[in-house]
Amino acid sequence: MSKHIHPVFENMLSRQAKEKFLNQRALVVWLTGLSGSGKSTIANKVEQLLHKKGILTALLDGDNLRTGLNANLGFTSADREENIRRVAETAKLFLNNGLVVLCSFVSPTQRIRARAASIIGKADFLEVWVNASFEVCAQRDVKGLYKKALAGEIKNFTGLDAPFEAPKAPFMVLDTAQQTIEESASKLVDALLKKIKK
């Protein structure tokens, strides 16, 4: 760290004080899965349901952050890692302000997700695998990306010519080929409320 940087973390109002004020425990919920698996849709639904329960949240979505904070990054391995590093640091800022943070990112490798967990803190990091096969996601193709990737127009496409490594021990698996978005969101919210409500 540069000798010209002087962090003031110890002088800031504590996370505990903010959690007490909000009457909730802060957490980071990390939704991972292939493009089109349902991550963003589930995260949006979960946020709405938690809001109705009086839970203050922040939603960080892959495409949204790539239009702003991470607009200068591409999809090489190095850029994917930097994308997730920035996201994790951002999520940690919200976490330390007492919020429940919903993160929706492909984050395709064990290494990338482990890095995010180490930045955020493993005790506050809940990994949720939104599990839908490449074939199911390609059939949905909600953004038209699979058609382009299969035609060779998009390189380094996760699940095709770039790897996706399934989580080894996620907090929860949501099989969106077998259950609706509403069912998946409700299942996740029920589990989260047991951890969030103080």
By annotation, the residues acting in catalysis are 107
Q: What angle do CA 71, 31, 140 make, to 5 degrees?
A: 80
Residue 123 structure tokens: 């005790």
Three-state DSSP class for 70?
coil
Are 153 and 72 in contact by the 8 Å Cβ rule? The answer is: no
Nearest to 66 by CA among 86, 40, 46: 86
Cα–Cα distances (Å) from 84 to 12, 18, 42, 91, 164, in that order, read: 25, 26, 20, 10, 15
Distance of CA 101 to the CA centre of its chain: 8
Residue 64 structure tokens: 């949204």
